[in-house]
Structure 1
Amino acid sequence: MTALAQISDRRMRVDRRTKGGRHVEEIETALKEGRVGILFQPQFSCADGSLVGAEALSRWHHPQLGQIGIDSLFDSAMRAGQAARLTRHIAERALAMAAGWPDNLRLSLNITAMDLAEEDFSATILAAVKSAGFDPTRLMLEITEQALVSDIDLGAQRLAVLADAGIRIALDDFGAGFCNFRYLKRLPLHAIKLDRSMIEGVTEDQRDLAVLRGIVALADALGLSVTAEGVETEAQRFIAAREGCSVWQGFLGSGPMPSSEFARLAGA
């Protein structure tokens, strides 16, 4: 068992003794009753503005608390010992929905530290892709730097299995925290996804713009594409495109939307 898995196991045992029972019941009920919904945030080409895909984002429609975002949802799932089940549920549903999209669009899925700690993680993702009849080359898995801190070598091995099957891997939230450049060397990456903080000040601050240029130059040298997240103004979109980003997403284009709405946007 990895250090990450040991820590997670201890936390789960403690939580089960305190309030884990409530979390288990709530998560199981949410999954059974279909209260864990999937939204899709469109992603666009920086070159011509065309739609290139979407990131799947899960939401928990809690009967008392209303709509709960991904962080709180996975926190509750982890406390209940249901994180792997939740990831499998989201992956299966999102892939099934995306199977009806035009063939030129790709799907991005977020994965967590809990996912990488699961021994059968790679097999679970590959099984979900096969079951949905989804071309693995159209799938991008987004993993945050924080999720890899505990065991980068194990994470690299499990991600390599997926990359060998054609699935693309992106390092998400790049620039949000301390950047360990070992990730760029060790992981089978195809892309980096800039944290929104890397885009916010590029239209006003020359230092922010210089940082963006440096990151894009590094990515280009490593053969990685760059996605700009959190694009909210036309000026930000213009600079992201001018400086060499490949894809952008943000409220300038659209916020997260239901599957049916995205399907209409995609012409599916």
Structure 2
Amino acid sequence: MTILQRPGAGERQSALFERDSIELADELELALRLGQVEIRFQPQFAGDGGRMVGAEALARWIHPSCGEIGARELFDLAAKAGLAEDMPRHMLTLAVAEAKNWPDTLRLSLNVTPKQLLAEGFVARFSSELAASMLDPKQVTLEITEELLLGDLDLAARRLKQLRDLGIRIALDDFGAGFCNFDYLKRLPLDALKLDRSMVQGIAENERDLAVLRAIVSLARVLDLDVVAEGIETEEQRLAVVAEGCFSWQGFLGSEPLVREELMQLA
């Protein structure tokens, strides 16, 4: 998942979490009902040619006194406010509703929380939502993190297989930031690895960093997995991930998160 930090983000988060928890819950719950928690889309670009191939859906809340609250802060706040299930469900619904109007050449990437995936009935509900929106499941990528897999790996694998059988692609997000348990690569029905930004930061200057990237891409190729690089901020980084064979990339070099109208201008 791409986390876009802006100056003062820590101060905003502290100010929010210092508030009374009941007040916070009321504020966020009301904001969800009024549609004040919005979606931004960060474009993803092809490694071969640079065309836009999709976008990752990210949550944003323009708080009346704290300003713009990004994805990580917002989901932390939702957890503290008792809305850990409501928030991702709201964002998933909004993102699917937006993406149904996209050209069929674009793919929507969605982050799935552990509670979502492991909740009883999630696959059926998500499948029903896609059917109602008439969004082709083949246009959807669900991104999962290692945090999700620290629970019941067998159950997670079964749920992911059910989703993949619908045509949905599965990506292991933040690869390289956690334990990098290679057992996941053997047991899970994956289509892609999404490299954490820490895996690309030094590849233009440091041969060792580049060697690690090269090894991951080689492993992914053997396993028939695409590699998506996130956090690309310089042209040198872009050239490096493209040269090593990454399927696609995203980051500030390409674009900051956009509203729907801005995104469609790139399509």
What's 2:58 paired with?
Answer: 57
What's 1:111 paired with?
Answer: 112
What's 1:7 paired with?
Answer: none
What is the TM-score with the length of structure 1 in the denominator?
A: 0.89
Aligned length in residues: 249
What's 2:45 paired with?
Answer: 44
SS in structure 2 at match of 1:119: coil
| Alignment pair present for 1:144 and 2:145 | yes
What's 1:242 paired with?
Answer: 243
> What whole-Å deviation, never above 9, does each CA across 1:7-37 have from its counterpart, x for those lacking one?
xxxxxxxxxxx96533431221011111111
Alignment of 1:1-268 (within 5 A): 20-266=21-267
Flag the 1:20–1:130 CA change in 2: closer, same or farther, 3 A: farther
Q: CA deviation at 1:92?
A: 1.3
Segment drifting more, 149-158 vs 252-261: 149-158
- Preserved contact between residue 88 and residue 124 of structure 1 (Cα < 8 Å): no
Q: What is the distance in 2 between the residues matched to 1:158 and 1:36? A: 28
Structure (1 or 2) with the greater helix fraction? 1
Q: CA deviation at 1:129?
A: 1.2
Flag the 1:219–1:149 CA change in 2: closer, same or farther, 3 A: same
- Preserved contact between residue 193 and residue 229 of structure 1 (Cα < 8 Å): yes
SS in structure 2 at match of 1:263: helix
**Structure 1 residue runs without a partner (length 5+):** 1-17
TM superposition outliers: structure 1 runs of 4+ over 4 Å:
none
Q: What is the distance in 2 between the residues matched to 1:125 and 1:181? A: 28
> What whole-Å deviation, never above 9, does each CA across 1:98-147 have from its counterpart, x for those lacking one?
11111111000011122223212222221221121100001000111122
- Preserved contact between residue 200 and residue 232 of structure 2 (Cα < 8 Å): yes
What is the TM-score with the length of structure 2 in the denominator?
A: 0.89
SS in structure 1 at match of 2:200: helix
- Preserved contact between residue 229 and residue 248 of structure 1 (Cα < 8 Å): yes
- Preserved contact between residue 118 and residue 159 of structure 2 (Cα < 8 Å): no
Q: What is the distance in 1 between the residues matched to 2:220 and 2:58? A: 26
Flag the 1:187–1:19 CA change in 2: closer, same or farther, 3 A: farther
Q: What is the distance in 2 between the residues matched to 1:157 and 1:63? A: 42
Q: What is the distance in 2 between the residues matched to 1:200 and 1:229? A: 10
Query: 1:45 is matched by which residue type in structure 2?
Result: A
SS in structure 1 at match of 2:75: helix
- Preserved contact between residue 148 and residue 155 of structure 1 (Cα < 8 Å): yes
Q: What CA RMSD, in Å, does the superposition of the two structures yield over aligned residues?
A: 1.5
